[in-house]
Amino acid sequence: MQTIFVDKKIKYTGEQLSPHWIYKNFKIMGNAIIAFVGECEVNLNHMVDIEDVINNEPIYSKQMLNIIEENFNSSLIETVYKQRLLVTITKELIEKKFPNVNIKRDGDDLFINNKKLSVSIATKSVTSTLIHFGLNIDAEGAPVNAADLVNDVGIKDIKEFANELLLTYKEELNDINLAASKVRGVI
C-alpha cells in the first residue's frame, strides 16, 4: 500500500472516486491511499451512495481532509471492512491525541457531540474497489449539523495529522497481512 499527502488544494466532487484516478493524477500505480485538502461538493449526479440520492442529501464542506483509497485485489465487502478500519483508526488517533474530545463512531461515520465529523463511502469500479473518507476541517455551510477537525477537535496541523493517519492505517494493513501469512493451515 502506497501513501501520499498531496500538497495542493483539490476540490472533491465525487468524480475522483473513479478507477486509476490516483495513478493518472499522481503516478502511483497499484494499491494506494492518498490524502488532500479542499472544498467538498458532491451533487446528486456524482453521488455513489444511493440512499443519499433517494433522500436528496448532497454533500458539502467548505474545507475537508479527503482520503481516497484504491485497491486492485479486494472484493467490495473487504473494502467495506477496510473503510470501517480506517474510520476506527481515525477515531482512535483522535482519542489518543485529544482525550477530552467526545467522539463516537456509528458505522462508517464519526460524530463529535452529536455533530457529524465525517462522510464515507466504499464502492466498486470495473477494475478496483474505492473508498472516499472525508473529515470536515471547516464545517461552515454544511447541510447537516457538522463538527470539524479545527474547532471541535483542536487539530492545528492537518498535514501532520493526515500523514500520521495514513501511516497508522498502512502499518495496520501490513500487520494484518503478516498475521495471515505466519500461520499454518489446519486439517
Q: Which residue has the cell 463538527?
A: 147
Tell me what pLDDT residue 59 has: 83
Domain at 73, CATH number: 3.30.930.10
Nine-digit cell string for 63: 474545507
Q: What is the pLDDT of residues 64-105, one digit of tens each?
A: 999 999 999 999 999 999 999 999 999 999 999 999 999 999
Q: Are 52 and 59 in contact (CB under 8 A)?
A: yes
Rounded to an integer, the average pLDDT of 117-138 is 97
Tell me what pLDDT residue 100 has: 96
Confidence of residue 42 (pLDDT cuts 50, 70, 90): confident
- Do the domain assignments include residue 83? yes
- Do the domain assignments include residue 140? yes
- Do the domain assignments include residue 74? yes
- Do the domain assignments include residue 34? yes
Whether the pLDDT of residue 52 is over 70: the answer is no
| Number of domains into which the chain is organized | 1
Range of the domain at 87: 2-181
Lowest-pLDDT choice from 1-10, 40-49, 121-130, 143-152: 40-49
Q: What is the pLDDT of residues 129-183, one digit of tens each?
A: 999 999 999 988 888 899 999 999 999 999 999 999 999 999 999 999 999 999 9
Whether the pLDDT of residue 55 is over 70: the answer is no
Cross-strand pairs, 92: none
Cα torsion through 71, 74, 77, 82, rounded to 10: -50
Tell me what pLDDT residue 32 has: 98
- Give the residue from 165, 163, 157, 167 showing the smallest Cα distance to 137: 157
Give CA–CA dist 50/61, Å, rounded: 20
